[in-house]
């Protein structure tokens, strides 16, 4: 049997290699050129959850938000699906979302059932008014947006910020003042008892809620103000706007029965924050708690 010379053998091997390349290379080229799957279209309900989307730089996936989603400013330009407890299935489904991320008290329940029936992924986050709530929001947005790795990195940074804030509050605290949270977005005022976001924020910031005899919110009455005797009043910027400003706010007769009213000319007797900033429990929580603490607690 004759063995081909080296040049002939190289030509044979080259031809065989070309034949193999004609089989494998097109497949490889097709695989490399295959377009990536588009990221899910998201609707977020709850301002704190929407903030997480922007913190993860996933805002290009947002197709809608609720009316409490006001930060950052770009969130105000997104299509709105209504208030978080008064959602409409038709309005939501018209945006063709693939995932909806919302607090567990969003609703009404029939709308959530309609979304599930339509095949929309629902991520419902319990409102526990603590740091765990923030962690759950980050994890839920990470899952729904297909950005789990980025969510883990964000959570690590936020956990560090939160630990530093807690340490600073502990080091900076002296006597905890008696503080009262007043909400008057609609003009009529309510005050916060226990098991509310406001109660949690006062506690986290090193103050004592002056009203602990009930849970939730109740109308502000003269009797309640006299019994609470708060040193500091905490309210939202939206409440001041609805009331007509700081001077009009202090004119409420119920407040005249409090030590805070008698000291109203002093600094930091009335502490005002944006409602979402104060009650949203989003990724800004470490900074907000420290800011609130500095205004509430005197060293």
For the four alpha carbons of 228, 234, 239 and 244, in that order, the dihedral sign comes to: positive
What is the CATH code for 42-167? Answer: 3.40.50.1980
* CA–CA dist 280, 261 (Å, integer): 28
Q: How far is CA 20 from the centre of its chain?
A: 55
| Model pLDDT for residues 59-118, shown as the tens digit of each residue | 999 999 999 999 999 999 999 999 999 999 999 999 999 999 999 999 999 999 999 999
Three-state DSSP class for 166?
Answer: helix
Tens digit of pLDDT for each residue in 260-282? 999 999 888 999 999 999 999 99
User: How much is the mean pLDDT over the chain?
Assistant: 89
Chain position carrying tokens 């007769």: 253
Answer whether residue 285 shows pLDDT above 50: yes
How large is the average pLDDT for residues 154-172?
A: 95
| Residue range(s) occupied by CATH 3.40.50.1980 in the chain | 42-167, 174-296
Which tens digit of pLDDT belongs to each residue from 46-56? 999 999 999 99
The yes/no answer on whether domain 174-296 falls in CATH 3.40.50.920 is no
Residue 98 pLDDT: 98
Q: Is 112 exposed, middle or buried (0-12, 13-18, 19+ CB in 10 A)?
A: buried
Where is 178: in which H helix or E strand?
Answer: strand 178-183
What is the DSSP code (8-state) at residue 282? S
- Owner of token pair 């031809």: 15
Q: How far is CA 121 from CA 111, 135, 136, 173, in A?
A: 13, 19, 16, 44
What backbone phi and psi angles, to 5 degrees, belong to 267? -70, 145
Tens digits of residue pLDDT in 168-216: 999 886 778 999 999 998 868 999 999 999 999 999 999 999 999 999 9
Q: What is the pLDDT of residue 32?
A: 53
Helix axes 131-145, 47-55, angle to 10 degrees: 60
pTM of the complete model: 0.85
* CB-based contact 48:281 (threshold 8 Å): yes
DSSP 187-227: SS-EEE-BSSHHHHHHHHTT-EES--SSBSEEE--HHHHHH
Q: What is the C-alpha separation between 60 and 79, in angstroms, rounded?
A: 13
Q: Is the peptide bond between 108 and the residue preceding it cis, with omega within 30 degrees of 0?
A: yes
The DSSP string of 30-81 is HHHHSPPPPPPPEEE-SHHHHHHHHHTT-GGGEEEE-TT---SGGGGGSPB-
* 102-130: pLDDT as tens digits: 999 999 999 999 999 999 999 999 999 99
Ramachandran bin of 187, using left for φ above 0, alpha for ψ from -120 to 50, beta for the remaining angles: left
Give the pLDDT of residue 46: 97
């Amino acid at each position: 049997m004759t063995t081909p010379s080296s040049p002939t053998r190289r030509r044979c091997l080259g031809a065989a290699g070309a034949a193999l390349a004609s089989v494998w290379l097109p497949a490889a080229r097709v695989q490399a050129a295959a377009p990536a799957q588009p990221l899910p279209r998201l609707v977020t309900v709850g301002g704190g959850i929407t903030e997480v989307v922007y913190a993860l730089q996933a805002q290009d996936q947002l197709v809608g938000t609720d009316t409490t989603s006001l930060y950052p400013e770009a969130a105000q330009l997104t299509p709105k699906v209504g208030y978080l407890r008064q959602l409409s299935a038709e309005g939501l489904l018209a945006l063709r979302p693939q995932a909806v991320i919302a607090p567990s008290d969003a609703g009404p329940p029939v709308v959530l059932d309609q979304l599930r029936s339509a095949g929309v992924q629902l991520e419902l986050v319990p409102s526990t008014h603590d740091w765990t709530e923030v962690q759950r929001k980050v994890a839920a947005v990470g899952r729904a947006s297909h950005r789990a790795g980025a969510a883990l990195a964000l959570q690590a940074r936020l956990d560090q910020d939160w630990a530093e804030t807690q340490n600073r509050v502990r080091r900076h605290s002296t006597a905890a003042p008696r503080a009262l949270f007043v909400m008057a977005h609609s003009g009529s005022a309510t005050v916060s008892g226990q098991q509310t976001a406001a109660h949690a924020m006062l506690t986290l910031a090193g103050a004592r809620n002056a009203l602990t005899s009930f849970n939730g919110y109740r109308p502000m009455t003269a009797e309640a103000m006299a019994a609470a005797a708060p040193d500091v009043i905490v309210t939202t910027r939206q409440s001041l706007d609805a009331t007509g400003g700081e001077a009009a706010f202090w004119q409420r007769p119920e407040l005249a029965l409090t030590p805070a009213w008698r000291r109203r000319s002093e600094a930091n007797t009335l502490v005002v924050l944006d409602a979402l900033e104060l009650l949203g429990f989003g990724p800004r929580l470490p900074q907000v708690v420290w800011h609130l603490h500095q205004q509430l607690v005197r060293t």
